[in-house]
Structure formats: C-alpha cells, structure tokens
Chains A and B, each alone.
Chain A
Amino acid sequence: MYGIGIVRGLGVTLKHFIETYIDDIRWLGRRYYNPEALAIRQGPKARGAFTVQYPEERLVTPEEFRYIPFLLYEEGEDGTQQDRCTSCGICAKVCPPQCIWIVRSNDPQTGRPIPEPAEFFIDIDICMNCGLCAEFCPFDAIKMDHDFELSAYDRLSAHIYNKEKLSKPVSYYASIRPSNYNREEAARAAKEAAKAAKRES
C-alpha cells in the first residue's frame, strides 16, 4: 500500500521523540546541569536529544583539544617568572600560516643574543590552530590552550597577542593537560638524571 514506508519512517521519529522523555524520567529531572548525566548523554550510550545547554552547561574538552597557543613560564617560590622559551625560533619556522613573530633579546653590554624572547607575538586572526608549534618545540615552552572563548570588541587592536597576554604558568598547563605534563616531566627528570650520572662518572 502506498504510504506504508512513510508511516514506518514516522515510527522512527516517534521512537526518538519518546526516548528523550524516557531518558528524562530515568534521570528524574536531573538530565541537564549534571556532569554525570552529561557524560552519558554525549557518549556512545546516549539516547534521545543530544543537546547541551551552553553556556550554563559545557562539553568536557578532551586533553588533546587544541586552540590558540600560549607560552609557559616557571614560577619561582618568590614570585619570579622564568620563561621556558629560549627564542630559538623553531615555532616561527614550522608555523604554516607564519603567524608567530619573535624578537630575540640581546645582552645590553656585549650585544650577544641571550636565550630569552624580548617579545613574542601571535596573530590569532591568522593562527590555524594546527598545533605544530607545540609539537616541535624542543623546550616544551609553547603549548596549545583549551580556552576557546576569545571574542573581543575590536579585532584591529586586540587580535595580536603579545608575550604578556600569551604567558601562562606551568601549573595551568599541568591542570589542562595532566597526562602530557606528567610524561614530559618524567622525560625531563630522566634526562637530568642521565646528565648528572655522566657528570659524576
């Protein structure tokens, strides 16, 4: 009979419709604004409506999520900041859209370059978030951020980030990418230990 296919199809729509309400009942009204429910609602076991009530409710960003890069600095106990960046320029060389500008510092007395950036710019209008800078930085000094809410009122003045705006403490990095951080620290410690052993022998 003509139309039977349409009716059968509408059955699928009805099923989806009902599933959302069943899921609502299962969570006893706590389907939304509930991290536990969100994890299931966004996973492979999800049923019914798939939506997230942004911005009150947010998707969990996975550790590897990457957005505009930032620079890391070590915090001393007395509050001093030590950049990890040595201004070697590798990030500026691998950057596909060439959006990184680095000014290397020079020693005021001798005029010789010192391993520290005087300035560091990233044009975030041009940055394509590919993550190659973070991937190839030999000093773990530039990493990709998780912060994606970057809207500004004026794109002409606000979209070239300087060193001050880009710098974030290592503790922040450890909080957004714990497993990467631990792996890198372990590698660093192993390297230090090997160096120390070599010095002793």
Chain B
Amino acid sequence: MEEQRPDPTEMALPEQTIPSDELETRFQGGVRRDDRDGYEGYVVDTGKLVEFATTLRDEMGYDYLSSVTGVDYLPEAQMEVVYHAYRTSGGPALVFKVQAPRQDPIVVPTLTGVYRGADFQEREIWDLYGIRFSGHPDLRRILMWEGFEGHPMRRDYRETYFEEEGKPFKNRWPEGAVYRIEDKQPFNKNVRYPADFTPDGWVPEGDAALYAGMMKVGPDGNGNGRGLGTEQIIVNLGPQHPSTHGVFRVVVTLEGETIVDLKPVMGYLHRNHEKIGERNTYLMNIPFTDRLDYICSMSNNLGYVLAVEKLMGIRPPERAEYIRVMMVELTRIANHLWATGFLLNDLGAFFTPALYAINERELILDVFEATSGSRMMCNYMRFGGVARDLPQGILETVRELVFERLPRRVDELDAYLTGNEIVRSRGIGVGVLTAQQALDYSAAGPVLRASGVAYDVRRADPYSIYDRLDFDVAVRYNGDVYDRYLIRLDEIRQSLRILRQVIDGMPEGEIQTGKPVYQVRVPAGEAYGRVENPKGELGFYVVSNGKPNPWRYHVRAPSFINLTAMGLMCVGQKVADVVAILGSIDIVLGETDR
C-alpha cells in the first residue's frame, strides 16, 4: 500500500485562513497551538475559553459550532473537550480544545452562552465522560437514565458484556469455546444498579427535577396571572407514541393548548455506539455505522470512511468516487421521500402519501440490494474504495430511474401535496426558526437551509468529487414546517441533477486503492470527517494512537443536534403542532440515541 500513497503535498489540508500567530499573541499565554503529532488547532486555557469562543464568533466569523466532544486521554491523565467551529461562508474547521486533569470533579466552562448548539452536546459529554460544564443551564444526563452509575465512555469503564479491551477477542480462535452471552449474563443481571437501588422505592429524581423546572409557577401559584383561570399542566408525549418516529419522548408544559415550554427526552435506544466503536477495529466500525441513521446507511459509511482515510492519507480511485457519490445521492432522494411521506403522515394524511413516496424509495433500495447485498444495512464503502463493483446492468436501472421515473414522480408528489390547503395551513408559519437562531443552535441540513442559511458541506467544505459537480444549494427563507417540506423536494431535484452528471461521467477502472486488507494501519493523530447527510451534517471524530482499535470514535449526529432547537420552534405553538414540527425536523432515533 505504501507506494500508492499520494504525495503528501497534494494531500495537505487547505491552509488555515487566520494569520498563524494572531490568536496566540492576542491571548497571551492562554492559547497555544496543538503541537502533538497528527493534531491540529489550538489548546485553550479553561479560563480563556469563553472569551476565545466569543472572539471567534464575533470577530473571525466562525459562526457555526459543528461539534463538541470529549476525549479521555487515560495514559496522560487528561480529559479533553474538542470543539469544531466553521464559517458559514465556507472553509475548513477551526479546532480548539480545552484540557483538564483527569480527577473528579472535572470542570470546564460551558459554551452555551456563545453557541446554543453546545447545549445537548455538553450534556452528552457530562453524561458519558463526567465532565461538568459550569454555568450550563440544564446539566442533566441525556442518554443514560438518571439512576445510572458511572460515566460509560471513560476508557477505564467496563460495560456489562465486557470481554477484552479490543476486538478480535482471543477466545474465538483456535479454541473457540462457544457460549451464549445470556448464559453468562442472564436477564436481570445484565444491568448494574446503584448500591441502594430498589425498583419499588426509587423516585426518578431527574424526572421530578425536569417537571419542576418546566412548571413555571409564579409567586401567586399556578396560572398565568392574567385573570384567566388556566393552569399549566405537564404532558408527556411518548416514549411510546406513533408520531415520534421511534422511542422518543417530549415533555411539554401547556397552558390550555399553547406550549409554554418543551424539552425532548431521549436515550431509550441508547446502546453506546461509540463505546462499541472503540472496542472494534477500524474496519469493523463500517457495518456499525449503517445502524446509526438506518435510512441512510450509504452516507453514514461515507462519512466514517472519509474520516479514517484522512488519517491514513489515502484517496479512492476515480471510479470509486463516482460510485460513492451516486450511492449517497440516491440515499438523499430515498431519505427525503421517506421524510416527506412521514411528515404527511404526521399531519394526518394517513399513509397514502407516505406509501407513494416509499414506493419510489423501494426502487432505490433495490439498487442498493443488488450492489451491496442489503437494502438498508449496506456496508458498502471501504477505506480507499468500495466493497465491490457495480453489478451488470445496474447502471441502466439507475439511469432509467434518474432520467425517466424519479423526476416525474417528484413532480407528481409536488402536484399532489404542495398546493393542498391542509398542508399549507398546518405548515405555513408553524415552528419558525430564524436564520440567526438556526445558526446559533447548530441546526444542520434541511432545517438550517430552510431558515435561509445556504450552508451545505458539499459546497462549503467539499469532499469527494463535489467540487467538480454542478448543483445549487437549495435554500428557503421562512424557516417554517412548510419550507422544510419544500426544501426536501428542492434537494431531491438537485440530487437528480448531480446523479445525471455522475451517471454520464462514470469512468471505468479500479474501485479500490491498494489491496483490500482487514487490518488497516492508521497513523496516530486525529481527524474529523464530515459529510452532508440527508438529515444534516454528519461528522466522525476519530483519534488514533496507532493501535488496531481507535482511541476515540465520536459521531456528530445531525438528528440529535437538530433537536436542540426543537423547544424554540415549539414554544407558542399549539400542542398538535409538536408532531408536525418533529416530522419536519426529520429525526431517526438510531442516530439520536446512538
């Protein structure tokens, strides 16, 4: 593989657009470059963090905080929080980090005052790493339940089914002593409880605190104090509710039918994907990424593979790039069809529009099945290429779909729904998110672009062959449910435009750089690979220490972070609109809860 590695000067990242030492001189001693091998960006003192971030946002134009995540450097006894900030005008990330000694209590100032989008992500870091964010408005656990003991993403935490630090496990070969995991960890014994826990006597303090915080009872007691005898009540929507697209719970404070406050509660489908990812080898993670956003497994594959390829310094051959783009754009169409269909379902048009949309999606899934072997769990991308070449005749099927069938079907869907008065009255002006708010809350994808921010990773920070393709970034300006519906139709049309170019330009040749190997060598360092997933920006933050298993594997899940702004969109609306707003955000719980 060595000889195929391209010239490193070609691979060099685009240069940082800030003068190299401006930030360091400005924050005398508080900011230094991260000079570890394979790392980039700045290390900021905890005391200067908020000031630093404010400067970035207000003076340097880094108005979009993409990802916040923690890393546990156990051997160095350090905890690190990593931030990736971007300019919406485009360009590479500015990475900055804070470090704290790994000794409880670990405290880092919150950035929610600068970027509201850090809210859920900081809660997640508190939950999984036990790093406290001082000044955070609502620092509760978010993915684990409140009674959970410990912080599971710490490197020294051992999960219930723990076998070894990393795969492959030694007892599988050559003395494979087979056993069922349930025999070792029988049902009921596979959960660890705090010492004094009794199921009957347990009071869910977290829930009680949540309810108390959301009941905004004034000094005169319940009621709005405006002469009306209304009382605020708290309603739980979910976790078992058909309109929440999975096991997802929304707690709303209502006054009459109007929403006063709303908070999403999640984690019911949490399986600690990232912990599994850190036990896996690099290759093993690819099929696991399929199971994040299970509607768009092809684009999940691409995001992860790009991050690891960045670390390895390889690029796939031309044909593989074309195949990848073809697959992810087909995924985008499939996802937006699905999202549109189910938004209509949520509005009460029970399954007729959804099935018309699913019908077309099924034809796309047939293409995936013929190519990768599975409709949804594709596991198709590999480091430096794709798993196998396109089978005979599939390009003709895609051509037929892209040139003939899908454009007509999208127009039909448009004619079917766009003018519908019920859709319009349920959508227009409902769940409005302004451009400023959308940026501030780190909303991504169609949610961001429907609010008038023309930010698309494919354009702003191009990957693969997108810099050579001709397409427009779809934008809508009202930021309501109706615009979020329309923008998905726009994006399907743009994807079809990309696909036409890709099919016509599909080159012959290799599909894999070098020989496929199951144990890839990944040099030490960090990489953040991000793609424009149909639901928004999907990022993978991977830290390697040169061993077969990644040291850190983090997923920046668009469904999860887009929910940060949900409360804002819903306040002041009627309770029935919650379902429509949630449908217009388009979440998948596999990705939200990870």
Contacts and interface: CB of A to CB of B under 8 A. Distances in A.
Interface of A: 2-6, 8-9, 12-13, 16, 42-46, 50, 62-66, 87, 89-90, 92-96, 98, 100-104, 113, 119-121, 123, 125-126, 128-132, 135-136, 144, 156, 160, 179
Contacts of A98: 163, 167-169, 172
A-B pairs with lowest CB-CB distance, top 4? A101-B176, A5-B419, A104-B174, A130-B287
Interface string B377-393: 10100000001100110
A121 B176 contact: yes
B29 to A, nearest CB: 46
Interface string B414-431: 011111111110000000
A88 B142 CA distance: 44
Contacts of B284: 94-96, 132
Interface in B145-178: 163, 167-169, 171-178
A4 to B, nearest CB: 7
5 contacts: A9-B420, A12-B356, A64-B388, A102-B176, A130-B286
A128 B377 contact: yes
Contacts of A42: 366
Contact of B419 (A9, A93, A96): A9
Given A130-B287, A135-B387, A62 B369 contact: yes
Contacts of B387: 131, 135
Given A44-B405, A98-B167, A121-B178, A66 B173 contact: no
Given A44-B397, A44-B404, A129-B374, A113 B174 contact: yes
Interface of B: 163, 167-169, 171-178, 180-181, 280-281, 283-288, 352, 356, 359, 362-363, 366, 369-374, 377, 379, 387-388, 391-392, 397, 400-401, 404-405, 412, 415-424, 516, 518-519
A162 B253 CA distance: 56
B443 to A, nearest CB: 29
Contacts of B280: 96
B178 A160 contact: yes
A121 B171 CA distance: 13
Nearest to A62: B370
A4 B419 contact: yes
A65 B373 CA distance: 4
Given A130-B287, A135-B387, A5 B421 contact: yes
Nearest to A42: B366
Would you call the interface of chain A mostly helix, strand, loop, or mixed?
mixed
Contact of B173 (A8, A92, A128): A92
Contact of B359 (A5, A50, A89): A50
Nearest to A126: B181
B168 A92 contact: yes
Nearest to B164: A98
Given A63-B391, A98-B168, A102-B172, A90 B518 contact: yes
Most buried by A among B173, B356, B391, B423: B173
A65 B171 CA distance: 30
Most buried by A among B174, B283, B405, B421: B174
Contact of A131 (B177, B366, B379): B379
Contact of A101 (B178, B359, B377, B391): B178
Given A90-B518, A96-B285, 20 more contacts: A5-B418, A5-B419, A6-B421, A43-B363, A44-B397, A45-B400, A46-B363, A50-B359, A63-B370, A64-B373, A65-B374, A87-B173, A94-B281, A98-B169, A101-B173, A101-B178, A102-B174, A130-B286, A130-B379, A132-B379
Given A6-B422, A44-B400, A50-B359, A102 B173 contact: yes
Contacts of A3: 421
B538 to A, nearest CB: 20
Given A44-B404, A104-B173, A135-B387, A93 B374 contact: no
Nearest to A64: B373
A105 to B, nearest CB: 9
Contact of B420 (A6, A90, A144): A6
Nearest to B423: A5
B287 A128 contact: yes
B518 A13 contact: no
Contacts of A93: 168, 172-173, 518-519
Contacts of A131: 373, 379, 387
A178 B187 CA distance: 44
Contacts of B421: 2-6
A114 to B, nearest CB: 11
Contacts of A130: 286-287, 377, 379
B172 A100 contact: yes
A135 B283 CA distance: 12
Nearest to A125: B180
Nearest to B416: A12
Given A62-B369, A93-B518, A101 B419 contact: no
Nearest to A2: B421
